[in-house]
Amino acid sequence: MSKDLHLETKIAQALGWIDESTRAVIPAIHPATTFVRDHDGSNQDPFVYSRNDNPNYGQVEQTLSALEGGQDAMVLSAGMAAAVLPFMTLQAGDHVVIQDVLYWGVRGWVTKHCARFGIDLDFFPAQDPSQIAGLLRPGKTKMVWIESPANPSWEVVDITAVASIAHDAGARLVVDSTAATPILTQPIALGADLVMHAATKYLNGHSDVLAGALITADASSDWWQEMRANRAAMGLVLGPQECWLLLRGMRTLALRVRQSSANAQALAEHFSGHPQLHAVLYPGLPQHPGHAIARRQMQNGFGGMLSIRLHGGFEAAAKTARRTKIFKEATSFGGVESLIEHRAPIEGPETKVPADLIRLSVGIEHIDDLITDLDAALTSV
């Protein structure tokens, strides 16, 4: 499929792929774990064993590469598998700079395990990435990790600026772009070396697949080849059925993300200034600290995620999350259904999330119903 076509066309058509053996427009599922070798012991590379590769991996990976403007992609067994894999290439004595506001699973993992592996770690405030420069150690800092927008307070980090700072010190930039998706932001075009997605979320979009993805700007690098080898060695592959479902979900990504973003924008505007709230956290609001950056590096909207903070503190947040009818009280985000979650008790005593914060994953329902549902829950509290 021509590279000049719009992103929406590429993704809806999954790059225009057709099964040459059957002329089907939808791929078959290949559940095989092993593949027959020739009599001389050779094989039809890369298909030897599904821990290395499988026909179902290729189409979803090529589609992801095209969407992100990368040279290659990997699908993995979970978002956390995708997050951990780049750290598995580091050596004792290496240094990583990472933002302080990010998905709690990643923060918890790096805080616990980097020290065990002898990897030095420094956090910088997400709202002030200019502090990165003072933390970098040329020759030692191997990776800078950012997430934008950052879960769950949705800070927006200037990817181009951070990429320049990181590259000047010889470090690679990894961007967790799960909340933005390639529909809203393409970090590689802004200077990132690697893009990570919890594909469970928006890429799949139907809350029925656990998956992760990595997309590289340089497929020839030793770093990327090591990650590919580690995926196979550690068995972090995604099953063929899950690959098939992920690709099916991705075909409607542009429609879903745009509708979720439009709904989230309308919710943020409606509840901004609500008497029960002292903050609405959403990059699409002009008063958001990262709004100017978001306008510059995001297209087609500002995402389907927002958070609200309640005057009544922990108890008011807990009650509000329990009293919605359409918003379902559940973990995760990025599905077609709207979800609500009081984050602090979910993350536990080590959380940095304010006790009064509720996270909203805004789905594709009618906006009037979502507004009425949330307003009724807030009013009842």
Selecting among 201, 309, 323, 343, the annotated active-site residue is 201
208 catalytic? Reply is no
**Starting from the edge strand earliest in sequence, which strands make up the sheet with 305-310, in order?**
277-281, 305-310, 357-361, 339-342, 328-329
> What are the backbone angles phi and psi of residue 105, rounded to the nearest 5°?
-65, -40
Interior CA angle at 236 toward 231 and 241, to 5°? 120
Selecting among 53, 94, 158, 176, the annotated active-site residue is 176
103 catalytic? Reply is yes
Cα dist. 345→79, 287, 357, 358 in Å? 22, 28, 10, 11
142 catalytic? Reply is no
Cα dist. 123→79, 120, 133 in Å? 21, 10, 12
Extract long-range pairs of 373-377: CB within 8 Å, 24+ residues apart. 373/324, 373/325, 373/326, 373/327, 374/267, 374/271, 374/324, 374/327, 374/340, 375/271, 376/323, 376/324, 376/325, 377/320, 377/321, 377/323, 377/324, 377/327
Q: Where are the alpha helices (DSSP H) in 117-194?
A: 132-135, 159-168, 181-184
Angle between helices 55-68 and 240-250 (to 10 degrees): 30
Selecting among 10, 57, 94, 103, the annotated active-site residue is 103
Neighbouring-strand partners of residue 141: 95
Selecting among 49, 51, 137, 328, the annotated active-site residue is 51
Tell me if 80 sits within 8 A of 31, measured CB to CB: no
176 catalytic? Reply is yes
Active site residues: 51, 103, 176, 201
